[in-house]
Amino acid sequence: MPIILRPKHYLLFLMGLLLAAGIFYVNYVIFYGNPLGRCVYLSVFTFLFWWLCWSLYFEIRDFWQFRWYGPHVDLVEVSITPIEIPLNPTNPEIMPKNKPTQLGGELVHHNSTLSDAPVIIFIHGFSDDSEYIRHFSIPLAHAGFDVVAYDNRGTKKSRRAGSSSQFIEITDDLEYVIRYVKNQNNLKNRPLFLVGISLGAIAAIKQGIKYPKEEVQKIVGIASMGNYKNSIPFSPVPFMKNWWFWLRYTFFGVPINPPKEKNIQLSPSLLLQKEFSLESNDASWKKSLQGRILLIHSRNDQVIDIQHFWENLSILELPLSNWLITQKGGHNFLRYEPIVLGKIINHLKSN
């Protein structure tokens, strides 16, 4: 498995560098008189100890998560084709001139999949990418779906298209991906499903509820937020709840306390309440929406608390067949992927 540098590695490098610099300052400047070579040696050793311990931890942790990274797709009868999705194609002035106007991604196709089979748009989470979620996209291709998995702006092939902290823009970009699928000769006029995890779940619900069932038949939200503000940690104090996420989000410029209107755009529960309150949406529309949505969450999710799941579920009033809670697995459903995939496939193939 190749070495994969992710945002957490850069953050760990910076923190290790600051720690080493602090050690050097204390030993060489404050306690003046210590030999320079010894101070440098101690600082370098501190940095290496910090880096190696945390890197080893993340490598072991990622070994399971990245087990589908770069698979021998020719041996499993799956083809992965690179694609480019136009971004803001009708109004190029919105995008800065020095940035690309497309998102990179891939089309995952099984050799036996029929030409009229349903198409899944899979939206990954924050700091992930289309390759990271291949342990979902490849099995879904084996199940008889064509899967369009793309990199959100600021990540992987879409890194130069924007910043990974542009959450509102990222959730809005799904609109252009849907438009792309509907305009491709090999993908259009086929049933369309939206599947998103974490930040991608926000996008799937936000954009999916805008479309009637005839255009977007199914929506799957995995580890979705309810109210955005209630999910982002506010405490920078070490060892307080979610302090590490606060440090990480702050470092990467994630909006911590967005204004009301922007918070609504990132809060599925608030968006659903807004849609349900519209008089133009009658009882039949609500019933249709309830049948289309599947929510999945883990009880021990440390990133997005299970309370967000209950919040969304109480608004939607979904039947038992349209939601799933795993006892463990965390935010990424480690070792629970087969259960999650089984539930997703069953939902997408149901009437």
CA distance 78 to 72: 9
Q: Tally the residues of the chain.
A: 351
Residue 195 β-bridge partners: 122, 220
Mean pLDDT for 188-208 is 97
Helix (H, G, I), strand (E, B) or coil at 148: strand
CA distance 158 to 161: 5
Residue 166 backbone dihedrals phi, psi, to 5 degrees: -85, 70
Quickly count: other Cβ atoms within 10 Å of residue 133's Cβ: 23
- What pLDDT, on a 0 to 100 scale, did the predictor assign at position 256? 80
Structure tokens at 185: 């000769």
- What pLDDT, on a 0 to 100 scale, did the predictor assign at position 1? 43
46: pLDDT confidence band, cut at 50, 70 and 90? confident
Structure tokens at 76: 């499993």
Structure tokens at 313: 């579920």
The average confidence (pLDDT) of the chain is 86
Please tell me the pTM assigned to this model.
Answer: 0.81
2: pLDDT confidence band, cut at 50, 70 and 90? very low
pLDDT digits (tens, 9 = 90+) for 50-101: 888 877 776 666 665 555 555 555 557 899 999 999 987 555 554 555 556 8
pLDDT digits (tens, 9 = 90+) for 287-322: 888 899 999 999 999 889 999 999 999 999 999 999
Residue of 149 and 13 predicted with greater confidence: 149
**What are the extents of the domains in the chain?**
7-65, 73-349
Residue 123 has pLDDT above 60, yes or no: yes
33: pLDDT confidence band, cut at 50, 70 and 90? confident
CB 219 within 8 A of CB 192: no
Residue of 2 and 75 predicted with greater confidence: 75
Structure tokens at 158: 């879409």
CATH for 73-349 (3.40.605.10, 3.40.640.10, 3.40.50.1820, 3.40.50.300): 3.40.50.1820
- What pLDDT, on a 0 to 100 scale, did the predictor assign at position 267? 96
Residues whose CB falls within 8 Å of the CB of residue 52, separated by 6 or more in sequence, listed in order: none
Residue 265 carries which DSSP code?
H
Name the helix (H) or strand (E) containing 289: helix 283-292
- What pLDDT, on a 0 to 100 scale, did the predictor assign at position 68? 55
